[in-house]
Amino acid sequence: MGLKIFLSFIFVIFCIGILIVYWFIPFGTIEFGSKSSNFDLDVNQSGNMQFYQNMRYSDSKISYKIYDCPLQKKNDMEEAFNIISDLSILNFYLVNSNEEISVTCDSKNKIEDGLFVAGEGGPVYITKVDKFHVILKGKVLLIKESNCENPNIALHELLHALGFDHSENPDNIMYYISKCKQTIGQDQIDLINKLYSTPSQPDLTLENVSAVMRGKYLDVNMSIRNDGLRDSMESKILIYADDELVKEIKLDALRIGYGRIISFSNLWIKQINVNKLDFFIDYSFPELEKNNNRISLEVD
């Protein structure tokens, strides 16, 4: 009996040792991969969520108007505005005219590529500035009411109007076929918050400045552009010859993305020799970037 007990004890110890080795000592590595983006199945495409890079409206407060929609579609759209507002730094407000996002409805079935179209949405007017594609006008067309707990169709089309393209991920609300379990990705909300963290201000910049002295007479060509997110107010261009003011040019307000070419000739300069010309935008309003407001030209 003593030998059997001893052998049984050894067997139990052996089994415990095997279990310890199995549970606590790794014999190999198993990689499950990672997924940082809810928008696309291929995480390398996460930077291409929008139709164009860095699409946004001029301000985080965006106006809208809903035109003659049935009550259910109207409620869906208003709930979609509220959901995006709750998740992000955006705010939507109702206006009677000159809205940035226009919402219309259609009760007729529409079929494309064999699929029923639930709605349409997207930017209508866009202007390109230095760092952004600024959406001046967007639209949403609701064709079908959502049967989901959340207004997924309205959310899908609203995100289109905010510049978002379709997703390749069937679990994302921007997938081209709508399903009730689809969700807005946190990466989409993060991108919205990042884009609209830049304040809504103008950004006047001097471009293509050239000058020629013909004896004591100065010829100048230059352009000025508003590369910001808001229309500028009136401003001035000041021109200095060797630190002495020689000309002041008044500028009217410039709309987002608009510019103006300025040329003049035969400006008499009283200095005998001019070594440096300075061109400076003078303004009294907040601006995104101040380093592009001044250009100096020196004699070669």
Question: What average pLDDT score do residues 175-190 get?
Answer: 93
Domain presence at residue 270:
yes
Residues 133 and 92 in one domain: yes
Is a pLDDT exceeding 50 seen at residue 45? no
Question: What average pLDDT score do residues 224-241 get?
Answer: 95
Residues 178 and 242 in one domain: no
Residues 175 and 216 in one domain: no
For 262-283, the pLDDT digits (tens) are 999 999 998 878 889 999 999 9
Exposed, middle or buried by CB within 10 Å (0-12, 13-18, 19+), for 191?
buried
Question: Which two structure tokens, joined as six digits, stand for 288?
Answer: 């995104």
Provide the pLDDT for residue 93.
98
Residues 114 and 211 in one domain: no
Domain presence at residue 32:
no
Q: What is the CATH number of the domain that holds 114?
A: 3.40.390.10
Of 14-28, 42-56, 151-165, 167-181, least confident by mean pLDDT is 14-28
Q: How confident is the model at residue 72 (pLDDT cuts 50, 70, 90)?
A: very high
Provide the pLDDT for residue 120.
87
Is a pLDDT exceeding 80 seen at residue 245? yes
Residues 128 and 240 in one domain: no
Question: What average pLDDT score do residues 118-137 get?
Answer: 91
Provide the pLDDT for residue 273.
83
Residues 228 and 145 in one domain: no
Residues 215 and 283 in one domain: yes
Q: Residue 58 in contact with residue 230, Cβ under 8 Å?
A: yes
Q: Residue 257 in contact with residue 286, Cβ under 8 Å?
A: no
Residues 218 and 153 in one domain: no
Is a pLDDT exceeding 50 seen at residue 29? no
Segment holding 250, helix H or strand E? strand 244-251
Rounded-to-integer distance, Cα 195 and Cα 271, Å: 48
For 73-119, the pLDDT digits (tens) are 999 999 999 999 999 999 999 999 999 999 999 766 555 555 455 56
> In whole numbers, what is the pLDDT of the chain averaged over residues?
86
Q: Residue 254 in contact with residue 287, Cβ under 8 Å?
A: no
Domain presence at residue 89:
yes
Residues 241 and 179 in one domain: no
Buried b or exposed e, range 17-49, using 16+ CB within 10 angstroms: eeeeeeeeeeeeeeeeeeeebbbbeeeeebeeb
Q: Residue 220 in contact with residue 208, Cβ under 8 Å?
A: no
- Examine the fold and report which residue of 177, 195, 213 is the final residue of a domain before the chain moves on: 195
Provide the pLDDT for residue 112.
56
Q: Give how many domains the chain has, as a whole number.
A: 2
Residues 95 and 184 in one domain: yes
Question: What average pLDDT score do residues 66-73 get?
Answer: 94
Domain that holds residue 154: 43-195
Share of the chain above pLDDT 90, in %: 68
Q: How confident is the model at residue 133 (pLDDT cuts 50, 70, 90)?
A: very high
Q: What is the CATH number of the domain that holds 255?
A: 2.60.40.10
Domain presence at residue 58:
yes
Residue 157: phi and psi, rounded to 5, are: -70, -35
Domain presence at residue 130:
yes
Residues 122 and 209 in one domain: no
Domain presence at residue 27:
no
pTM recorded for the entire structure: 0.80
Question: What average pLDDT score do residues 254-267 get?
Answer: 94
